[in-house]
Amino acid sequence: MKINIAVLAGDGIGPEIIEQGMKAIKAVCKKYGHDLTYKEALVGATAIDRTGNPYPDETHALCMASDAVFFGAIGHPKYDNNPSAKVRPEQGLLAMRKKLGLYANIRPVTTFPSLIHKSPLRPELVDGADFMCIRELTGGMYFGRPQGRSEDGDTAYDTCIYTREEIGRIVRLAYTYARKRRKKVTVVDKANVLATSRLWRQVVQEIEKEYPDVETEYMFVDNAAMRIIQWPKSFDVMVTENMFGDILTDEASVITGSLGMLPSASIGIHTSVFEPIHGSYPQAAGKNIANPLATILSAALLFEYAFNLTEEGKAIRDAVTASMNAGIVTEDISQEGKASKTSEVGDWIAGYISRNFFNSSI
């Protein structure tokens, strides 16, 4: 199969972790006989510095011409809390989501036996937790207009907007995934306060009739935030709007023991983007200490969701598990001070893929 991807490393540790992810992708393509082509492009602060635009037209054209986008991270301290900055790296991410029609962010939340001791929750609460968060990406307060501040600067306002089409599209996706899992959908909203949430609930109540084999649960966002901590194993597929999803998925990621372990996929109308959930971590940039496993696991999602190559995705996940069992991990999740460098983890996993799986001469 032809595998044609755009590679957007971005800022901070982005180039380092993407390099390790590409090692895994190249190893899989060589092992399974796929024809890999890829091109790199600018995004984020790096793109602002070179072009003045965090998501240049050239980058967008490459993404549109690719079957999938492999994305690192964006963000730089010089733009944080800087009111004089006319453009911010994060605007590139929002522009990419909008222009590519990335309407659904999928974050699997899975616990790893070797990391349970690092979870802030008691082992009996988190052991076996396995659920999927599906966050709507193109609507809500992040894109609502009007948005701004009063002339005197003392009042600011944002507008939350959702349409029936946006809600229906992502809710049906949630039911589709639930049917492949444990057949339960939890719809998170704030329908007791927000008009947009009341529309969400109305639309879901209409759609749930199309999926009688799937249990539907409605939950206010504050209750969901508590339940993720109190009883994470009660969830199967959670679906919610943009801002709620942004907050809840970060909360859910912490219970697994490390932000550096969780991948994500953003499903789009034109193409899809695969990226780790963590940020650019500029303090670690260039030090070869960043955990690349979330990025490598995002490569597994890339094979599965963009190309329907489940065996290839499983090969990457199995290699990641093997690296953890062998103690080939970075300092954030290492035990007894036996830490490997970012590049060493990437090399080990690529080598493991080459030595195992499928019948090849490699």
Q: In the predicted model, is pLDDT for residue 217 greater than 80?
A: yes
Confirm whether 273 is domain-assigned.
Answer: no
Give me the pLDDT at residue 253, please.
85
Same domain for 134 and 97, yes or no, is no
Query: Residue 259 — very low, low, confident or very high, per pLDDT cuts 50/70/90?
Result: confident
Query: Residue 84 — very low, low, confident or very high, per pLDDT cuts 50/70/90?
Result: low
CA distance linking residue 286 with residue 278, whole number of Å: 17
Same domain for 257 and 297, yes or no, is no
Confirm whether 42 is domain-assigned.
Answer: yes
Confirm whether 346 is domain-assigned.
Answer: yes
Same domain for 255 and 357, yes or no, is no
Structure tokens at 6: 């755009």
Q: In the predicted model, is pLDDT for residue 122 greater than 80?
A: yes
Query: Residue 229 — very low, low, confident or very high, per pLDDT cuts 50/70/90?
Result: very high
Q: Which of 268, 295, 317 is the last residue of a domain?
A: 268
Evaluate whether 280 touches 75 at the Cβ level (below 8 Å): yes
Active site residue 79: no
Domain containing residue 287: 1-101+283-362
CA angle 143, 218, 268 (to 5 degrees): 40
Same domain for 81 and 179, yes or no, is no
CA distance linking residue 276 with residue 299, whole number of Å: 9
Q: In the predicted model, is pLDDT for residue 359 greater than 60?
A: no
Q: Which of 23, 26, 31, 190 is catalytic?
A: 190
Question: For 258-282, what is the mean pLDDT?
Answer: 90
CA distance linking residue 149 with residue 359, whole number of Å: 62
CA distance linking residue 15 with residue 27, whole number of Å: 18
Give me the pLDDT at residue 361, please.
42
Residues contacting 273, CB < 8 A, separation 6+: 63, 68, 69, 71, 96, 100, 102, 265, 266
Q: Which of 142, 211, 281, 305 is catalytic?
A: 142
Give me the pLDDT at residue 147, please.
87
Q: In the predicted model, is pLDDT for residue 260 greater than 60?
A: yes
Confirm whether 277 is domain-assigned.
Answer: no
Confirm whether 274 is domain-assigned.
Answer: no
Active site residue 190: yes
Confirm whether 234 is domain-assigned.
Answer: yes
Q: In the predicted model, is pLDDT for residue 121 greater than 70?
A: yes
Q: Which of 233, 268, 303 is the last residue of a domain?
A: 268
Give me the pLDDT at residue 336, please.
74
Same domain for 140 and 264, yes or no, is yes
SS3 content of the chain, % helix, strand, coil (to 5): 45, 20, 35
Could you give the number of structural domains in the chain? 2
What CATH number does the domain containing 180 carry? 3.40.718.10
Q: Tell me how many helices (H) and strands (E) the chain has.
A: 13, 12
Confirm whether 59 is domain-assigned.
Answer: yes
Same domain for 68 and 90, yes or no, is yes
Question: For 113-123, what is the mean pLDDT?
Answer: 86
Question: Which tens digit of pLDDT belongs to each residue from 131-166?
Answer: 999 999 989 998 888 989 999 989 999 999 999 999
Same domain for 354 and 237, yes or no, is no
Q: In the predicted model, is pLDDT for residue 310 greater than 60?
A: yes
Same domain for 260 and 296, yes or no, is no
Q: In the predicted model, is pLDDT for residue 272 greater than 70?
A: yes
Active site residue 127: no
Active site residue 183: no
Same domain for 264 and 127, yes or no, is yes
Q: In the predicted model, is pLDDT for residue 360 greater than 50?
A: no
Same domain for 85 and 114, yes or no, is no
Q: In the predicted model, is pLDDT for residue 312 greater than 80?
A: yes
Lowest mean pLDDT among 99-113, 199-213, 338-352: 99-113
Q: What's the pTM?
A: 0.85
Q: Which of 57, 78, 80, 222 is catalytic?
A: 222
Q: Which of 234, 268, 302 is the last residue of a domain?
A: 268
Confirm whether 197 is domain-assigned.
Answer: yes
Q: Which of 127, 130, 250, 347 is catalytic?
A: 250
Same domain for 206 and 183, yes or no, is yes
Active site residue 250: yes
Question: Which tens digit of pLDDT belongs to each residue from 13-54?
Answer: 999 999 999 999 999 999 999 999 999 999 999 999 999 999
Given CA atoms 241, 43, 64, 95 in this order, what sign does their dihedral have? positive
Q: In the predicted model, is pLDDT for residue 226 greater than 80?
A: yes
Question: For 300-319, what is the mean pLDDT?
Answer: 94
CA distance linking residue 7 with residue 39, whole number of Å: 6
Same domain for 115 and 263, yes or no, is yes
